């Protein structure tokens, strides 16, 4: 039987394609599944550490029957604005607001989010005798410098010019916050507090994210000029964790007053959650470029009564242990 040249070429092409498909199937390495999501938050005026979990970032289920995993014992005995970050050694570090007019923050650490070492009060603003408040601390691990950055909002009366009639002084009980910070490698020795972010106006509730190319600082513009209140969320950018931050974006949180942002990447998009505190609702805005935003608040199913907190990831076995608390 004589086989034509065209037939031979066709067979060779088919075999080559099949080999290519086979190689592609065997050489490709499946992407590791993302670790489970957790959200730490508080209820009421600061009753303690609550945790919820989600598979898709939209539907959140409380753990432990939505009862606190940890109750506050230091400072003003509140636990508001909790922030949890996991270190390179797997230890979880928790910071929180302990009171409305304290000069420090709460701190605790844990290996499993259930058993916690003794709580500590860190007087991070103790050198400022007139400091008005120390609010919404967050903790972030700076890999480049192998240290922790702890940052928060404080008002020091008369420190900055009033831009909205809220400059705190002996005669004015208002606030004119800026974001301060310290660094530490061991949560025992800390640098002196310094300005972390000063946009030239009243600012609170900062949170950090790293998008692979730069650091993103999301914050609440707290200015309240007569007839022109801001009370919205914006972002600023830097190539270093400790800043400086600039290129402030337009607000992205809509018309409702918003605070307490927290961000995490899910798939190829960044999910930014926030507290619509006047409406007693939680909001969600999503972006892939920090410029164009989609409001998914109507699709978000958050735990009842959830307040300002932080979203983060944990190993699957850690979540399994937390589920057993239910």
Q: Quick one: how far is CA 308 from the chain centroid?
A: 10
Give 69-103 pLDDT, tens digit per residue: 999 999 999 999 999 999 999 999 999 999 999 99
Question: By C-alpha distance, which of 24, 102, 112, 111 is closest to 63?
Answer: 112
Give 29-67 pLDDT, tens digit per residue: 555 678 999 999 999 999 999 999 999 999 999 999 999
Contact 313, 51 (CB under 8 A): no
The residue that leads in pLDDT, 236 or 17, is 236
pLDDT of residue 66: 96
Mean pLDDT of 281-306: 96
Q: Rounded to whole angstroms, how far apart are CA atoms 263 and 305?
A: 20
Task: Determine how many CB atoms are found less than 10 A away from the CB of residue 102.
Answer: 21
Q: Rounded to whole angstroms, how far apart are CA atoms 247 and 143?
A: 23
Give 176-191 pLDDT, tens digit per residue: 999 999 999 999 999 9
106 to 182, 234, 293, 313: CA distances (angstroms): 14, 26, 34, 22
Q: Rounded to whole angstroms, how far apart are CA atoms 37 and 74?
A: 28
Q: Rounded to whole angstroms, how far apart are CA atoms 226 and 63?
A: 42
Contact 180, 173 (CB under 8 A): no
Mean pLDDT of 142-154: 97
Give 177-232 pLDDT, tens digit per residue: 999 999 999 999 999 999 999 999 999 999 999 999 899 999 999 987 665 679 99
Peptide bond into 45 cis (omega under 30): no
- The answer for 44, left when phi > 0, alpha when psi is -120 to 50, beta otherwise, is left
The helix/strand/coil state of 207 is strand
Mean pLDDT of 313-320: 96
Contact 128, 154 (CB under 8 A): yes
Contact 263, 272 (CB under 8 A): yes
Question: By C-alpha distance, which of 293, 281, 211, 223 is closest to 252?
Answer: 293
Whether the model clears a pTM of 0.85, i.e. scores above it, the answer is yes
Dihedral, CA of residue 251, residue 221, residue 274 and residue 182, to nearest 10: 130
Tokens of residue 164, six digits: 């909205």
Domains annotated on the chain, with CATH: 37-323 (2.115.10.20)
């Amino acid at each position: 039987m004589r086989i034509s040249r065209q037939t031979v070429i066709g067979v060779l092409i088919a075999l080559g394609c099949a080999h290519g498909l086979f190689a592609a199937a065997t050489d490709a390495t499946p992407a590791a599944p993302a670790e489970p999501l957790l959200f730490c938050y508080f209820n009421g005026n600061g009753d303690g550490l609550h945790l919820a979990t989600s598979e898709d970032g939209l539907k959140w289920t409380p753990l432990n029957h939505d009862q606190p995993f940890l109750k506050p014992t230091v400072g003003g005995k509140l636990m508001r604005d909790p922030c949890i970050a996991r270190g390179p050694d797997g230890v979880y570090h928790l910071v929180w607001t302990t009171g409305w007019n304290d000069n420090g923050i709460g701190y605790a650490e844990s290996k499993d989010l259930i058993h916690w070492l003794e709580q500590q009060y860190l007087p991070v603003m103790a050198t400022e005798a007139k400091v008005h408040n120390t609010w919404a601390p967050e903790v972030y691990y700076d890999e480049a410098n192998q240290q922790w950055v702890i940052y928060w909002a404080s008002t020091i009366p008369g420190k900055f010019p009033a831009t909205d009639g809220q400059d705190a002084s002996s005669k004015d009980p208002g606030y004119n916050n800026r974001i301060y910070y310290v660094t530490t490698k061991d949560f025992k020795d800390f640098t002196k507090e310094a300005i972390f972010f000063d946009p030239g106006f009243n600012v609170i509730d900062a949170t950090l994210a790293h998008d692979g190319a730069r650091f993103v600082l999301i914050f609440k513009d707290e200015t309240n000029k007569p007839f022109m209140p801001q009370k919205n969320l914006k972002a600023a950018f830097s190539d270093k964790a400790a800043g400086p931050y600039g290129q402030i974006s337009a607000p992205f949180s809509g018309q409702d007053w918003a605070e307490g942002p927290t961000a995490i990447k899910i798939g190829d998009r960044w999910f930014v959650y926030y507290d619509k505190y006047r409406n007693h609702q939680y909001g969600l805005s999503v972006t892939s470029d920090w410029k164009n935003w989609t409001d998914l608040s109507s699709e978000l199913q958050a735990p009842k009564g959830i307040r300002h907190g932080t979203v983060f990831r944990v190993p699957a076995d850690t979540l399994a242990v937390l589920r057993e608390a239910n």
